[in-house]
Structure 1
Amino acid sequence: MLRHASSVDLQMAEKAEATELQRMIAIEQQKAQFQAQVHTFTDVCWDKCVDSPGSKLDYRTETCLQSCVERFIDTTLTITNRFTQMVQKGAH
């Protein structure tokens, strides 16, 4: 009886470890996606807004960069929300 209990405990511990590992992998994937998004913002908005780099950003460049990133985020959220709605409708 004691062996059976320890076997069950071991299986439960292994399952908990697997679940925790999956959670950690998901977090790392989210971090990687975030970093990729930041790089995309930087590339697109830098090319659009910065004529020639200097020691400081002027007001026009700073405003352009901010607006560009905000539009990019809004567009990404809109597309993501629309895709989520389509998936949910398809699941029903």
Structure 2
Amino acid sequence: MMDNFTTDYSGAGGSGKMDTGSIMEQVKVQIAVANAQELLQRMTDKCFKKCVGKPGSSLDNSEQKCIAMCMDRYMDAWNTVSRTYNSRLQRERARL
């Protein structure tokens, strides 16, 4: 078993060729995760500041509703901007 792993690894590494498609996919996934984390962080910060006047040990009913609505609105806005941005990118690429 170990010999197969070593042979496969050295065969791929020894050729000097990288699987650029695989690397690009990994980079795309990492960027998507980073973007999702940033979105969640921004949304959390903005909605918390907007909805929670005096932080305590728990959220009251109105704070919970406010946060839920704020997050829904934030996601709707994010999706609208993303769709518009992607549409514009596609139009620009088509011109090239």
Deviation at 1:56, TM superposition (A): 1.1
Matches within 5 A, 1:45-56: 45-56=47-58
Question: CA 1:58 to 1:33, structure 2 compared with 1: closer, same or farther past 3 Å?
Answer: same
Q: How many pairs were matched up?
A: 82
Aligned residue for 1:89?
Answer: 91
Aligned residue for 2:6?
Answer: none
Q: Which 5+ residue runs of structure 2 have no aligned equivalent?
A: 1-14
Matches within 5 A, 1:21-36: 21-36=23-38
| 2:54 alignment partner, SS class | coil
CA deviations 1:47-88 (Å, max 9, x no partner) are 100011111111100010010011000001111112222233
Q: Larger helix proportion, structure 1 or 2?
A: 1
Match 1:41 to one of 17, 30, 43: 43
Q: Which 5+ residue runs of structure 1 have no aligned equivalent?
A: 1-9
Percent sequence identity over aligned pairs: 24
- C-alpha distance in structure 2 between counterparts of 1:87 and 1:24, whole Å: 22
TM-score between both structures, scaled by the size of structure 2: 0.73
RMSD: 2.0
* Larger RCO of the pair (alpha carbons < 8 Å, separation 6+): 1
- C-alpha distance in structure 2 between counterparts of 1:91 and 1:21, whole Å: 23
Code of the aligned partner of 1:72: Y
